[in-house]
Amino acid sequence: MSEGSAQRNFSMLADFYEFTMMGGYLESGHRDTVAVFDLFFRRIPDGGGFALFAGLEQVVQYLENLSFTQEDLEYFRSRGFSQTFLDYLRDFHFCCDVWSVPEGTPVFPNEPVITIRGPLLQAQLVETMTLLSVNFQSLIATKANRVVRASQGRTVVEFGSRRAQGVDAAVLGARAAYIAGCAGTANTMADSTLGIPAAGTMAHSWVQVFDTEYDAFRAYAQAYPDQCTLLVDTYNTLRSGIPNAIRVFNEVVLPRGYRPVAVRIDSGDLAYLSKRARAMLDKAGFRDVKIMASNSLDEYIIRDLLVQNAAIDIFGVGENLITSKSEPVFGGVYKLVASADKSGVLQPRIKISETVAKITVPGFKRPYRLYSRENGKALADYIALWEEPPVDDSRDMTIFDPHAIWKRKTVYGYVAKELQVQVFDKGRRCCDLPSVEDIRAACAAQVDTLWEESLRFEYPHRYYVDLSQTLWDTQQRLLRDMSLPQVDAAADIYKEEF
């Protein structure tokens, strides 16, 4: 867990219906019923080829701190909840099993990212906070990785705190962006509490305070000669900003034994200005000074700038990253997939909808990722029921598209790895959480296992998430068994009453 992470109790951060359902479960005899819930998502933001999973550490912190104070109990008493329910909350102790995909892993629609098994009341309660943590950070990580890939190896710094939707969004958004490949953040709190490297120099106000741009640059260089980066577009980038920067580099920075770091351009035609600035800096002997650009950038603008051969080494990306402005919602959902019958045996459960995309994949499941032995690339994901034998990757396997079962493929020469790891065992955390640096490195390695066709921004290759034959048969059986009888019964009641 990140050093300095705040330990806050978010037990009351839940939709009110989580508590009304908990009370109802108690009253209807489901206190000890075991259930399984899956957290998954249905669609990749921005029409991309994959999403990145982030936010697990905050989910773990939440689950480890679940408890209810006397003040909480009095609130529920004032809302009319029963004494039985208040007693249950007073003695609350989280005791579920939790499995999760590691943070930084590329994930795809309709596969379980987090699975929670345990008492129905508890597994139901944690829905809102778990979704909140995963949806936001996965959204920002996914967007940030698109920006990083668009930069083609150039440095990207997250600049979005002042446009983020709140304090936690600014700090945890910086964390998610760093996991996804950004080099750092402008957010000091993200550095001091989570270890996300912070960087920054000056705003236009610094330059405006001094009588001249030269005076402003000189004062800054005298204060920070070893890390001198100057903002050159306050008045005129090419006619004053770059010439004054060069003058100060020669008069202040070099005589003190340092090399200047960079100049930053925050407005205007970034492609044109960066190329002209590069030529001026090179002619003055500052080929090593980098050019940083900012100003409402996103992956498409960055890609276009590089197509125009912009001489930009570092991109500062703010509002379009921290809010994922082009698509600001990550559609993660949390659904019941199994619950125990009266004899205590887990039975698969399904949600049926006229919207086909909302039909769930039932059962307590085990997801795998199949990698090529030849080049390490990800071939497909494969989901089986928990009770099925483990995948034997010494044998060829035929997989099929669950939405078009005539599409079949034989996979050979592969390695099957389980996607999820167990995080909680009966409410006790049973694994160490990696550092943010380790997550970031693992994320880069896992993205590298994807084929180039999946990395395209436009019309990426669809990565297949396939079901085992047994799981697909189970889903189809439940569709038959659970839909028509219940619909017919409801129709009969409707006829009788009206």
Cα 126 from Cα 117, distance rounded (Å): 11
Residues 184, 178: contact at Cβ < 8 Å? yes
Average pLDDT, the chain: 95
> Is the predicted pLDDT of residue 492 greater than 70, yes or no?
no
The answer, yes or no, to whether residue 49 has pLDDT greater than 80, is yes
The pLDDT tens digits for 336-356 are: 999 999 999 999 999 998 888
pLDDT (0 to 100) of residue 27: 95
User: How many other CB atoms sit within 10 Å of the CB of residue 71?
Assistant: 8
* Confidence band for 437, pLDDT divided at 50, 70 and 90: very high
Contact 277, 299 (CB under 8 A): no
Residues 279 and 340 in one domain: no
Would you state the pLDDT for residue 8? 76
Region 51-60 average pLDDT: 98
C-alpha to C-alpha distance for 228 and 226, rounded to whole angstroms: 6
E-strand stretches of 322-395: 332-340, 346-348, 365-372, 378-385
CATH at 308: 3.20.20.70
> Is 394 found in the same domain as 280?
no
> Residue 216: what are its φ and ψ, rounded to 5°?
-65, -45
The radius of gyration of the chain's CA atoms, rounded to the nearest angstrom, is 27
User: How many structural domains compose the chain?
Assistant: 2
The answer to whether position 491 is within a domain reads no
Are 249 and 361 found together in one domain?
A: no
Are 126 and 152 in the same domain? no
User: Which tens digit of pLDDT belongs to each residue from 372-421?
Assistant: 999 999 999 999 999 999 999 999 999 999 989 999 999 999 999 999 99
Residue 130 confidence (pLDDT) above 70: yes
Taken as a whole, the chain contains a residue count of 498
Q: Give the per-residue pLDDT at 334.
A: 98
**Max CA pair span of the chain:** 94
Report the predicted TM-score, pTM, of the whole model to 2 decimal places. 0.95
Instruction: Check residue 2 and give its pLDDT.
Output: 46
The domain of 307 spans: 141-322
Which of 306, 322, 338 is where one domain is finished? 322
Q: What is the pLDDT of residue 498?
A: 44
Summarize pLDDT for 67-104 with one digit per residue, the tens.
Answer: 999 999 999 999 999 999 999 999 999 999 999 999 99
pLDDT in tens, 149-197: 999 999 999 999 999 999 999 999 999 999 999 999 999 999 999 999 9
The CATH number of the domain holding residue 97 is 3.20.140.10
Domain boundary among 268, 297, 322: 322
